[in-house]
Amino acid sequence: MLPIPKHLKDILHPTGNKNNEKQVSGQIICICGCDTFKIKYVGDDKEFEHLNAVCHIQIDESFYLIVKAECVKCKTDHLIFDGHLHGWDGYGSREDWADKIKPDGKLYTCRKCNADTHTLSLVINSQGQEDFISEGGPEYDKEDWVEAFEWIRLSTICKNCNTVTKEWIDCETM
């Protein structure tokens, strides 16, 4: 079984032959079959050139890292990652954040050509089902182990100039 969270089950298409219970790599493809998106995010990109990744941003008393991808063909908006809902920390606090209003995201544009359409791929790392059961305890549903992943990495490819931005998001979720 692969560590694909429920919210990505229909749009994350595994690639390569190294996928297993502790890691999955794949490409985001909309349910309509399109692989091109306009990406909006809430995060700190001020030090992107130095850190080579978008990081959490503090707004008021909370920290945010959110990525949404809007399909250019059917306009479906897919939530790819929200640090308050996804990953180990998000899994444990999702009920506290599920109904909260989130800040608006900004459109991601290519740093080379300024285009705003990209493909999106990701890698999710997990400690696996057994670790989730032993760490989470009896109050956690053992089938939810895919929700409590430990790390997510998102990479983009510009559809205009083919610039690859590896690990655009590189976030530990524990």
In a domain, 1, yes or no: no
Give the global pTM: 0.90
Give residue 40's identity as a one-letter amino acid code: K
In a domain, 39, yes or no: yes
**Total number of domains in the chain:** 1
Query: Which stretches of the chain score pLDDT less than 50?
Result: none
pLDDT given at position 98: 65
Spatial neighbors of 56 by CB under 8 A, at least 6 apart, are 43, 44, 63, 64, 65, 83, 171
In a domain, 106, yes or no: yes
Please give the Cα distance from 43 to 36 (Å, whole number): 21
In a domain, 10, yes or no: yes
In a domain, 133, yes or no: yes
CA-based end-to-end distance of the chain: 21
**pLDDT tens, 72-118?**
999 999 999 999 889 988 887 766 666 677 888 999 999 899 999 99
Domain range for 97 is 6-172
In a domain, 157, yes or no: yes
In a domain, 98, yes or no: yes
